[in-house]
Structure 1
Amino acid sequence: MKARNIVFISAIGLLLGSCTIVRQGEVGVKRSFGKIKPEPLMEGARGFNPFTTTIIKLPTRTMNMEVRLPLPSKEGLTVQSDVSILYRLEGSYAPKVIENLGRNYEQVVILPVFRSAVADISSQYFAKDMHTGQRAGIEKSIKELMMAQLKDRGFVIEAVLLKSIVLPAGLTKAIEDKLEAEQDAQRMQFVLDKERQEARRRTIEAEGVRDAQKIIAEGLTPLLIRFKAIEAFNKLSTSPNTKVIITNGDQPLMLNSDKLE
């Protein structure tokens, strides 16, 4: 009876040991008698002979590889940076990757290609460029150069992200001083533009007053002045108050009669 139980338990163990599950975000590679099968195993349960076959699982989801390294700049300085490399493996290439690179493909091919690409690209830029808006262009160039070398090997580089850029101390101070000077210059330019606009406004206002006075002066002809004087005489004649009017025939001068008493 005990022997039967042992055989039964062994059979169950053998059955469980001869089945594996390839989950989502993974791909399986079958190795039988030391040879890699060219067809990858997609998601699902897979049976195999544990005595002759091994199932190797590789991730096909996006992976994040963190690297800290010095970046050479165009002027010969060294900039420290933490870099994230986001990449993924194309499932159809998994058998070739295992056969040619092994499971440690990050250290075998991705990291060396990255080091070469980042050295080529960063040496084309000044150190200050890595700390400004040109960082996105540097990241894009590194990604494109890596893709050109890794695409045929079955790897997709999704992004290269430069993080924690640490510039040399003296350069950091120089950049800060330059930015402060640029801000001061922008503020001064704003003040000058405002003063120019105000001066322009005053000039336009003065020109308007001058033109108005010129129009009035040109319109005051002797005939118009005499006409206005007649209108003034007519208004004074209808007033009930007692007045003394002195005139030369052209312009009236009114005196208050109370003050003449």
Structure 2
Amino acid sequence: MNTISKRYIVLGVVAIFLIIFLSKSTVTIGSGERGVLYKTFGGGVVTDQPALGEGFHLVAPWNKVYIYEIRQQELSEEMNVLSSNGLEIDLDATIWFTPEIAKLGLLHQQKGENYIDRIIKPALRSATRSVIGRYTPEQLYSSKRDIIQQEIFEATKEILDNQYVVLKNALVRDITLPPTIKDAIERKLRQEQEALEYEFRLSKAQKEAERQKIEAEGKARANDILNASLTDKILKEKGIQATIELSKSSNSKVIVIGSGKDGLPIILGDK
């Protein structure tokens, strides 16, 4: 084997080595991700520096990069929990969360890549059981859902504080009661609604009766005042005024002065 052939062999080996080295020394971090660097000969997980951002990075081949998604993530859990009186309730809850980007190294070091199963799921389940255990099925079925959602969020957040996770929101998507309990609650609600409707109709009838009574009393008082004011002299004067107006009419008539009852004129005949 001549010198030139040996040189080509050496160059080929070096090229292969460089290709392997570069393939092991580069990492591409995608959109919505961060990379946690692990230094094999440099103290392990890097926690005192920001995680690697999106894009292309050169990394020593003996080190490793762990990729974490930093977008908002969703976790839904279907749980069987107990109400305050010991009845089983099926509940479907959802939370939104993100890892704490500034402490991604600590999250990897202390919780690991499966941190969702290790800390978030247990936190949600524990918080939900604690909150639901304070309410009766009737309260869970009624308008308490918004309050329950907020309490589950706060209880879960309290557990996840200092766990390198940012909790965004919590939602109770469905609450399923045992059929017998649900039917009993619905019957009770219908009865309460019917009672309220009856009270409304009764109140309305009472108010209408009061209105009619007040109206009748007003008319009676008005008639009393009018009757008290109509003396004989006033009536005669009104009759005379009416006679004068009639006498001005173009219709043929005969007026007998002073021949009517109480001395009022009598009008005879017209066209």
TM class, shorter-length: 0.7 to 0.9
Of 17, 21, 34, which residue of structure 2 is paired with 1:27? 34
Q: How does 1:48-127 map to 2 (within 5 A)?
A: 48-50=59-61, 52-127=62-137
Native 8 Å contact 2:82 2:133 kept in 1: yes
CA apart distance, 1:164: 2.5
Write the distance in 1 (CA, Å) between the matches of 2:263 and 2:23: 129
AA matched with 2:126: S
Write the distance in 2 (CA, Å) between the matches of 1:140 and 1:236: 85
Tell me, yes or no, if structure 1 residue 44 matches structure 2 residue 55. Answer: yes
CA RMSD after TM alignment: 2.5
Write the distance in 1 (CA, Å) between the matches of 2:261 and 2:183: 85
Q: Greater shift after overlay, 238-247 or 120-129?
A: 238-247
Write the distance in 2 (CA, Å) between the matches of 1:5 and 1:197: 105
CA apart distance, 1:207: 2.7
Tell me, yes or no, if structure 1 residue 254 matches structure 2 residue 261. Answer: no
AA matched with 2:29: V
Write the distance in 2 (CA, Å) between the matches of 1:236 and 1:128: 80
AA matched with 2:208: E
AA matched with 1:252: P
Cα pair distance change 1:238/1:64, threshold 3 Å: closer
Q: How does 1:165-244 map to 2 (within 5 A)?
A: 165-235=175-245, 237-238=247-248, 241-243=252-254
Cα pair distance change 1:138/1:234, threshold 3 Å: closer
- Structure 2 gap ranges (5+): none
Cα pair distance change 1:82/1:257, threshold 3 Å: closer
Q: Deviations over 1:122-171 (max 9, x none)?
A: 11111232222211211211211221221212111112222221101111
Write the distance in 2 (CA, Å) between the matches of 1:204 and 1:9: 108
CA apart distance, 1:54: 0.5
Write the distance in 1 (CA, Å) between the matches of 2:210 and 2:199: 16
Cα pair distance change 1:11/1:214, threshold 3 Å: same
AA matched with 2:264: Q
Cα pair distance change 1:238/1:161, threshold 3 Å: closer
Cα pair distance change 1:156/1:222, threshold 3 Å: same
CA apart distance, 1:226: 2.1
Write the distance in 2 (CA, Å) between the matches of 1:68 and 1:223: 94
Write the distance in 2 (CA, Å) between the matches of 1:207 and 1:13: 107
Native 8 Å contact 2:252 2:269 kept in 1: no
Native 8 Å contact 1:93 1:153 kept in 2: no
CA apart distance, 1:120: 1.5
Native 8 Å contact 1:71 1:78 kept in 2: yes
Native 8 Å contact 2:96 2:167 kept in 1: yes
Paired residue total: 257
Write the distance in 2 (CA, Å) between the matches of 1:84 and 1:242: 97
State TM-score, norm by structure 2.
Answer: 0.84
Residue aligned with 1:41, SS: coil
